[in-house]
Amino acid sequence: MICLHTRYSRHEIKHMYQIKQFAVIGNPIEQSRSPELHHAFAKKLNIALRYEKILSEIPLFKATVFDFFKHGGKGMNVTVPFKEDAFLLCDVLTQRAKVAKAVNTLWSKDGKIYGDNTDGQGLVDAIHALNWSLKDVKILILGAGGATRGVVLPLAHAGATEIVIANRTYARAAQLVEDLQDFVTPTSIKACDLAHLSGKFDLVINATSASLSGDALILPDALQFSHAYEMAYGKPSTFLAQAEQRGIPYSDGFGMLVGQAIVSFEIWNGCKPNLADFLNLK
């Protein structure tokens, strides 16, 4: 309880009672699980906050973000299709956001907008929560779009020795490898054609949008792997069905969703919820 006499001005008291405001912005936004996750973290850690969904349109995005922070908003998550627009409006970016060229976490300090990308660290934390190692492993990532770009650096920093990016359109994988090469040392990074997959990997990550669009993704028998991670969740995945047939450990992307939310929460609130405590929200 706050004492109302002498020590605090009226303005200070009003400030103390103000609940911290957060939001996720996107289009569409109805499906977002972020408010539920952040409220669950806050409840567990005894923090008072309000986290809302904001539906925006492309021409209004920037003004909506500026308005949110101007009115005291503490932090904002950004989802499809605004992650690149968010990257462009930031005054200050973390290294992983610069490499990802996309921002999913915004906050404001001293009149400047800061941006980070927590997707990759969220994936790393989710994989560690499964007790799968990323140290000295060989990883194959399927897909060379924004989802892949966002996770390569944190996977390299987690200790992977080799990362191979395989894509249906080979040139996109080759371009991504060229863009990322200088940042991932000493991890080696290579491009490959999705149609010519072979070799042996500790972990295969599906970062294509195939499951989201309901397309089958058939992996050749010549490709051997011992763990499978699908970035999407809540949709049937031919990729995970093949992992199940092979009898290897596999996971969908719900842990990554929780993981990226936890990293954002920690940036904003200075304390970190335990990922494993929230996997039952699926």
- Residues noted as catalytic: 83
- Segment contacting ligand ATR by CB under 6 A, of 8-16, 37-45, 213-221, 248-256: 213-221
SS3 call for 165: strand
Q: What angle do CA 210, 169, 239 make, to 5 degrees?
A: 30
Residue 215 interacts with ligand ATR (CB under 6 A)? yes
Residue 257 interacts with ligand ATR (CB under 6 A)? no
Nearest to 197 by CA among 156, 175, 225: 225
Size of the site for ligand ATR (CB under 6 A): 16
Residue 143 interacts with ligand ATR (CB under 6 A)? yes
Residue 147 interacts with ligand ATR (CB under 6 A)? yes
Flag whether 234 is marked binding.
no
Flag whether 146 is marked binding.
yes
Measured CA to CA, the distance from residue 35 to residue 124 in angstroms comes to: 22
User: Per-residue string for binding with ligand ATR, 159-198, x by CB under 6 A?
Assistant: --------xxx--x---------------------x----
- HSE of 84, CA atoms in CB hemisphere, 13 A: 6
Q: Which tokens sit at 86? A: 């968010």
Whether the bond between 28 and the residue before it is cis, its omega within 30 degrees of 0, is: yes
Residue 253 interacts with ligand ATR (CB under 6 A)? no
SS3 call for 75: strand
The residues binding ligand ATR (CB under 6 A) are 143-147, 167-169, 172, 194, 208-210, 213, 215, 217
Q: Indicate the annotated binding residues for shikimate.
A: 32-34, 79, 104, 119, 229, 260
